C-alpha cells in the first residue's frame, strides 16, 4: 500500500474544504469551468459518490444505525472506493482531478464527533496527497445564514443530532459546525492548507484560486519541457 | 469481572470499564471447521447454563448486506473491501459484542480481527495501517486458533464438504493461479503464513485441526474450561421436585415413551 505523500502521478489533484455554507462548491465549479475552457482534461469527484457504499449509507442514515466509529469507517470505505476508482486512475492518466471535500472533511467531522485524532488520520493514510488543498474559511454565523437561506430542513446526522449536544436541530447544528471549524483551524498548519477568506466577493476568491492553480500547472509544464529536452 | 483492554485506540466514549462475560475467538483459515466447532461449543456452553452470543464476519446489521452484495459482484477495490470489513467489525463490536459482554454473555466469535488483518496484508495493505484500524478491538479472553498442516489439506476439506471452491476463499481477486485449485492453495498458504506470524503477537492458543472433529472439540473444551467454570454444572435447587415429578409422570402416563421419540398421542375418542 502506498501511503499519503508517497504517490507519484503525472496528474494534479486540487481539493476544496470548508464548513457547509463556506462557498467551496461554488468556487470549485467555477474552477472546473475555467480549466475546461483552457483545454485541460479535468475529472470531478465528490464525496459520497461511491455507488458501492451508497445503499449501506442511505439505509444506515434512515434507520440511524451509526455510531461515531462506524460513521467514520463507512465514510472511509466510501473514500477508498473513490480513491481507487475516481482519483488514482485519472491522476495516472495525467488528468487534473478536482475533489469537493477530501480527507480533511473526515478529520474535522469525525474528531468533532469524538473519534481519536491519530486514529482517524491513520485510517486515511492510503489517500493521495493533494497538489493543493483550499480551505474556504467563513465565520460560523455567515455560513449558517447561507445554509438557512438555501435549505430549511437539516438532516439528523448533518445536524449532529446523534451526539445529544442539544435538543434543537439548529442549535445542535451550530455546535457541530463550531467544533468542525475548530478542527479545520488546527489542520491549516498540520497539512499546509491554503486558506481562502470566504467572506470576500466570489470573483475575488476565484481569482486567488486560479492564480495558485496556474502556478502548479506551470510547474508541471516545466517538468515536461525538461523531460522533452 | 474483568477490565476491558484494547489493542490500540479504544472506541470513543469508552472509559475503563469492567465486564462480566467472556470473549472467545475461534480463528482459522477457510474450511478448517470453525463454524462446526462454534455450533458445538454453543450447545455445550448453553447446557452448562451460560448465555451465548455467536457472531462472525460480515454479519453486522450495518454493513453485512452491503459487503455481500459487493462481493457477489466482484467489484470491490482492495482497500475498499478492507475498510468495509472494518466497518462491519466496528458495528458488531459496539452493538453486539460489548453489550453482550456487559450483560455477562459468553461471546463466541467465528473469526475476529486476525482474519481481517491476514486478508488485508496478503492483499498488499500496510501491516501497521490495518493493525491501527483494528486497534479498537477488545483483547479477547481466549483466541483459539484452529491450525491445519497445509493448504492442500484445506483444499481437501473444502471439497469433502461438498461446497467446492468459492471465488473469495480462493483469493481469485489476487490472480495467484490459473484455476480455482491452484489459486486456493497459493492463497491459503499466504494466509497460513500470516496466521503463523500473528501467533505470538496475539497470544493464539493453537489447536490441531487436522485431528478428527471429536478430538478437536475436546481440545477446545479443555481450553475454554480454563476460563469458564463448567464444573460443577449449574446449581440445581435442593428443593427441585425431580423425583416427585418422575413419580407423578409414571402414575399418570401409562404410555411408555422411548427416549427421543415423541410420546404417542392418545387415541381420539370415537365420536358419538
Which chain B residue lies closest to A112 (C-alpha atoms)?
B12
**Mean pLDDT score of chain B, rounded to an integer?**
86
Chain A residues inside the 8 Å CB shell of B62? 56, 60, 65-66, 70, 74
Chain A, chain B: beta-carbon pairs less than 8 Å apart: 99
Residue A227: its H or E element: helix A202-228
d(CA A123, CA A217): 30
Chain A residues inside the 8 Å CB shell of B9? 116, 118-119
Left if phi > 0, otherwise alpha if psi is -120 to 50, otherwise beta: which for B16? beta
8 A C-beta contact, residue B171 and residue B154: no
Left if phi > 0, otherwise alpha if psi is -120 to 50, otherwise beta: which for A173? alpha
Q: Which three cell numbers stand for residue B175?
A: 490472480
- Cis status of the peptide bond prior to B231, with omega within 30 of 0: no
What pLDDT digit, counting tens, does each position of A139-162 carry? Answer: 988 888 888 777 667 889 988 999
d(CA A209, CA A10): 21
Answer positive or negative: Cα dihedral of B46, B232, B4, B135. Answer: negative
Say if strands B22-27 and B106-110 run parallel, antiparallel, or are unpaired.
parallel
pLDDT band at B175 (very low <50, low <70, confident <90, very high): confident
What pLDDT digit, counting tens, does each position of B27-67 carry? Answer: 998 889 999 999 999 999 999 999 999 999 888 888 888 88
What is the DSSP secondary structure assignment for residue B230, as one 8-state letter?
-
What pLDDT digit, counting tens, does each position of A58-100 carry? Answer: 889 999 999 999 999 999 999 999 999 889 999 999 999 999 9
Helices (H) and strands (E) in chain B, counts: 10, 7
Using an 8 Å CB-CB cutoff, list residues of chain A that contact chain B.
1, 3, 50, 52-53, 55-56, 60, 65-70, 73-74, 76-77, 80-81, 83-85, 113-116, 118-119, 122-123, 125-126
Predicted local distance difference test score (pLDDT) of residue B238: 67
Residue B108: its H or E element: strand B106-110
What pLDDT digit, counting tens, does each position of B217-272 carry? Answer: 999 999 999 999 887 666 666 666 666 556 555 555 444 444 444 444 445 545 44
Cross-chain Cβ contact A125/B129 below 8 Å: yes
Q: Which fold has domain A12-218?
A: Rossmann fold (3.40.50)
Mutation pick from A50, A53, A85 vs chain B, by most beta carbons of B within 10 Å, is A53
Cross-chain Cβ contact A80/B129 below 8 Å: no
d(CA A62, CA B99): 23
Of B12, B83, B91, the CB nearest to A116: B12
8 A C-beta contact, residue A10 and residue A223: no
Q: Which three cell numbers stand for residue A58?
A: 442511505
Residue A98: its H or E element: strand A96-100
Mutation pick from B6, B8, B12, B97 vs chain A, by most beta carbons of A within 10 Å, is B12
Q: Which three cell numbers stand for residue A85?
A: 476508482
**Mean pLDDT score of chain A, rounded to an integer?**
90
Predicted local distance difference test score (pLDDT) of residue B67: 84
Chain A residues inside the 8 Å CB shell of B86? 73, 76-77
Predicted local distance difference test score (pLDDT) of residue B246: 61
**Domain B2-225 belongs in CATH node 3.40.50.300:** yes
For residue B144, give the nearest of B50, B226, B230, B231 by alpha carbon: B226
Chain A residues inside the 8 Å CB shell of B126? 1, 3, 125
Domain boundaries defined on chain B: 2-225
Q: Which three cell numbers stand for residue A128?
A: 493521495
Amino acid at each position: 500500500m502506498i501511503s499519503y505523500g508517497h504517490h507519484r502521478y503525472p496528474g494534479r489533484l486540487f481539493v476544496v474544504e470548508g464548513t457547509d455554507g463556506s462557498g467551496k462548491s461554488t468556487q470549485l465549479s467555477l474552477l472546473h469551468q475555467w480549466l475546461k475552457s483552457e483545454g485541460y482534461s479535468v475529472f470531478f469527484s465528490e464525496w459520497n459518490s461511491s455507488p458501492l457504499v451508497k445503499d449501506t449509507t442511505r439505509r444506515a442514515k434512515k434507520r440511524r444505525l451509526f455510531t461515531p466509529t462506524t460513521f467514520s469507517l463507512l465514510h472511509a470505505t466510501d473514500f477508498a472506493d473513490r480513491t481507487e476508482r475516481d482519483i488514482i486512475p485519472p491522476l495516472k492518466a495525467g488528468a487534473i482531478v478536482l475533489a469537493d471535500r477530501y480527507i480533511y472533511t473526515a478529520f474535522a467531522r469525525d474528531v468533532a464527533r469524538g473519534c481519536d485524532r491519530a486514529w482517524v488520520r491513520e485510517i486515511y493514510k492510503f489517500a493521495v496527497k493533494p497538489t493543493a488543498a483550499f480551505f474556504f474559511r467563513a465565520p460560523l454565523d455567515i455560513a449558517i445564514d447561507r445554509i438557512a437561506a438555501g435549505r430549511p430542513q437539516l438532516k439528523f446526522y448533518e445536524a449532529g443530532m446523534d451526539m445529544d449536544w442539544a435538543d434543537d436541530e439548529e442549535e445542535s447544528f451550530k455546535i457541530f459546525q463550531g467544533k468542525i471549524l475548530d478542527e479545520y483551524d488546527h489542520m491549516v498548519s498540520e497539512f499546509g492548507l491554503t486558506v481562502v477568506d470566504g467572506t470576500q466577493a466570489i470573483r475575488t476568491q476565484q481569482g486567488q484560486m486560479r492564480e495558485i492553480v496556474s502556478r502548479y500547472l506551470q510547474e508541471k509544464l516545466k517538468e515536461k519541457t525538461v523531460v522533452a529536452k | 469481572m474483568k477490565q476491558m483492554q484494547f489493542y490500540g485506540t479504544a472506541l470513543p466514549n469508552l472509559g475503563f470499564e469492567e465486564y462480566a462475560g467472556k470473549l472467545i475467538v475461534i480463528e482459522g483459515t477457510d474450511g478448517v471447521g470453525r463454524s462446526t466447532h462454534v455450533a458445538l461449543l454453543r450447545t455445550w456452553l448453553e447446557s452448562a447454563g451460560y448465555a451465548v452470543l455467536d457472531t462472525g464476519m460480515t454479519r453486522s446489521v450495518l454493513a453485512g448486506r452491503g459487503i455481500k452484495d459487493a462481493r457477489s459482484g466482484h467489484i470491490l477495490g482492495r482497500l475498499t473491501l478492507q475498510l468495509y470489513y472494518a466497518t462491519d467489525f466496528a458495528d458488531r463490536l459496539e452493538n453486539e459484542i460489548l453489550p453482550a459482554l456487559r450483560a455477562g454473555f459468553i461471546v463466541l466469535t467465528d473469526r475476529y480481527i486476525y482474519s481481517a488483518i491476514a486478508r488485508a496484508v496478503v492483499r498488499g495493505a500496510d501491516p501497521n495501517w490495518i493493525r491501527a484500524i483494528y486497534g479498537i478491538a477488545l483483547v479477547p479472553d481466549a483466541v483459539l486458533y484452529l491450525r491445519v498442516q497445509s493448504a492442500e489439506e484445506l483444499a481437501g476439506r473444502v471439497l469433502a464438504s461438498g461446497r467446492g471452491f468459492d471465488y473469495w476463499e480462493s483469493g481469485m481477486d489476487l490472480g495467484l493461479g490459473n484455476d480455482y485449485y491452484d489459486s486456493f492453495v497459493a492463497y491459503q498458504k499466504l494466509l497460513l503464513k500470516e496466521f503463523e506470524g500473528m501467533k505470538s503477537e496475539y497470544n493464539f492458543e493453537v489447536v490441531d485441526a487436522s485431528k478428527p472433529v471429536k478430538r478437536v472439540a475436546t481440545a477446545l473444551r479443555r481450553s475454554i474450561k480454563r476460563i469458564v467454570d463448567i464444573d460443577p454444572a449449574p446449581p440445581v435447587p435442593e428443593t427441585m421436585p425431580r423425583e416427585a415429578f418422575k413419580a407423578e409422570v409414571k402414575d399418570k402416563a401409562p404410555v411408555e415413551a422411548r427416549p427421543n421419540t415423541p410420546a404417542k398421542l392418545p387415541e381420539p375418542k370415537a365420536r358419538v
